[in-house]
Amino acid sequence: MNCEHDHFEDLLECARVGSQVKDFTVEVFDPVEGAFGEVTLSDIQSRGKWTVLVFYPADFTFVCPTELADLAEKHEALEKLGAEVLSVSTDTKFVHMAWKTSERLLEKVRFKMASDPAGELSRYFDVWDPDSGLALRGTFLIDPDGLLVSSEVNFYNVGRNADELLRKLAANVHVREHPEQACPARWTPGQKTLLPGEELVGKVYESLND
């Protein structure tokens, strides 16, 4: 992917894990209100929320509605962790509305559906495919301070798992609240964490199994 583009003159580089995300504005279709609107990253941050961006290739396709339906099943749990969820594709808000209305798999979708028809946001998050003009399956977690803490990108033909998204958000929420700790593989809330330091070197097994 090519991070440099002409549309966001002030966004000269792609978003990188561990770096601040520049503010952005997207038009959305809100399924709850049945109306169009705008969402800005700065507004989400002002409310102390995490931002979950879920890019997908296109409305009225095949894997995409299964992913959004899966995401809808975890939406309430993601909200309880303090997240605002936005699905994003290069379709217009009008197409989002038509797709939400006609596709039965989307009946439970209550998160806002963002439009990126010029591919500006897709380029910034480096999921833009110039050959197709579509976005790859990218998932990004942005903390309430605007720091990008997680990035995952799949190709067109493999759908994602919202269970893992929920687990990753829970882990990132935990370490933000407890910065002295680290979460081991497959960590879920209530399990042991790690306390990095010289005492832990070569003793991770003992720490997790004492």
208 by DSSP, 3-state: which? helix
Measure the CA–CA gap between 94 and 98, rounded to whole angstroms: 6
Whether the Cβ atoms of residue 106 and residue 73 lie closer than 8 Å to each other? no
Measure the CA–CA gap between 193 and 210, rounded to whole angstroms: 12
As annotated, the active-site residues are 64
Q: Which residues contact 90 (CB under 8 A, 6 or more apart)?
A: 58, 115, 116, 117, 118, 119, 122, 133, 134, 135
Rg (alpha carbons) of the chain, rounded to whole number: 18
